[in-house]
Amino acid sequence: MLYMRLMIIPFVKMHGCGNDFVILDERARALGLSQGQIAALADRHRGIGCDQLIVIQQAETVDAVMRIYNPDGSEAGACGNATRCVADILMRQTGHGDVTIRTIAGDLATTRRPDGLIQVDMGEPRLDWTEIPLARPTDTLRLDLPGHPAAASMGNPHATFFVADLDAEPVATRGPKLEHDPIFPQRANIGFAQVIDPRTIRLKVWERGAGLTLACGSGACAALVNAHRRGLTHRQAMLILDGGTLEIEWRDDGHVLMTGPVATAFTGQVDPP
């Protein structure tokens, strides 16, 4: 029997500080991928492999819409590293130095700096227990969990644990258990942060639906916000992740800026299973 390829899709594989993405473009035609197909493409052994699969869609009042899918096929609300990667694509296509990208968590303004790094305005953190959300009224600066993390939403829920020695922390063991703790009705991204000094934080993040990644942009934003709320850092700091370094600033107007590099690993075509 002759095998017929039904749908050939071009893709771009990109990463921000090692946080890697398969990026598909739906602006010309809808692809209609199922949750199972998304999970198959994200599989590192049988698919292309990525931390998240990103779909670019057409928009009327902004430059593009970005949809974010975890390796299990579930949809995420925000991803700062992916936003920078999509911004790089749009900027190179249009020749513009700034673009606005719509996500389900809001519109994100991006700018390419003279040094080539891309900056994203991630908006204001949400700090009330109902906005994160948590399952019950709770002081978001000190959750009633072992280690007493601080919680914040950057378009998706984050809990930041401040630890003395990040290398000694069993992130891969604690992360999945904490992700599914009942206090997080929508699950949560679990960050483990070691404050080196008021301008430097080391961070590892267990991402909901993705696991341990080399970098998490929204997690870096949440870590800086929570660290400053605790009085541990200034409003601006370098966040050192396993895959690279991000500059995070929580401005006086409440907005969080994230700046970092992007890179294209390769391009290709795929026939979704």
How does DSSP classify residue 27? Answer: S
50 a catalytic residue: no
What 239-242 contacts at long range (C-beta under 8 Å, 24+ apart), as own/partner pairs, is 239/201, 239/202, 239/203, 240/196, 240/200, 240/201, 240/202, 240/203, 241/17, 241/18, 241/202, 241/203, 241/204, 241/205, 241/214, 241/215, 241/216, 242/18, 242/204, 242/214, 242/215
79 a catalytic residue: yes
Q: Note whether 181 and 149 are within 8 A (CB).
A: no
Sequence-distant (≥ 6) Cβ neighbours of residue 28 within 8 angstroms: none
85-115 in b/e form (b: 16+ CB < 10 A) is bbbbbbbeeeeeeebbbbbebeebbbbbeee
Q: Note whether 15 and 273 are within 8 A (CB).
A: no
End-to-end CA distance of the chain: 18
Query: Catalytic: which of 17, 50, 85, 216?
Result: 216
Catalytic residues: 79, 216
